[in-house]
Amino acid sequence: MTTPPLNSDLLQPYRGYLWTLAYSQLDPQLKGKLDASDIVQQTMLRAHAALPGLRDRSPGVLVAWLRQILATELADSVRHCHRDKRDIAREQSLSADIEQSAGGLENWLAADHTSPSMAAERNEHLLHLANALAELPDEQREVVILKHIRDRKLQQIADESGRTVPAVAGLLRRGLAKLREIPEAG
């Protein structure tokens, strides 16, 4: 197995995926203070600096490694916002929450494949989906993420967002329709 070249292009395909995970993990109360794009940028900077030390750069290992860096970056950002009110339990649960969100994203693709080629194809679909989510308007993206990645009920989303259930359902419908329209790269 050959190791992919060491350059920043190796990490770029994962930007949308990381953004989706970061966005889905940001507490709504912190979204005014923290931005998923900034957290992903810091994650990419840390990953680029540490990339020479990563021996196995296969897609599966790379994704897991990037998720761990993202969890650390999120914990650091949350800690920074709550300097005087440090919540150790929340910091420790961020890594588990990111894994759960990543699992939700993967489950959304309904992939129960076992062969390496099918797993590689699933990973490509996963990255495409995350990048497509990043292209949605903010309100639609948030509702799609809450429903399909965070597994929230429409009523919960409506309560959290201050919208009516029909308004949430409309955003969800339009968001899913736009996702279907976005052509798959490649």
Q: Cα Rg for the chain, rounded, in angstroms? A: 17
| CA 22/CA 70 separation, integer angstroms | 7
SS3 (DSSP) at 31:
coil
pLDDT at 146: 87
Residue among 41, 54, 43 nearest 7 (CA): 54
Task: List Cβ neighbours of 49 (8 Å cut-off, separation of 6 or more).
Answer: none
Q: What is the pLDDT of residues 122-178, one digit of tens each?
A: 667 777 788 888 888 989 988 998 898 888 899 999 998 899 999 999 999 999 999
For the chain, percent of residues with pLDDT exceeding 70? 70
Q: What is the pLDDT of residues 53-80, one digit of tens each?
A: 888 888 888 888 998 999 889 888 888 7
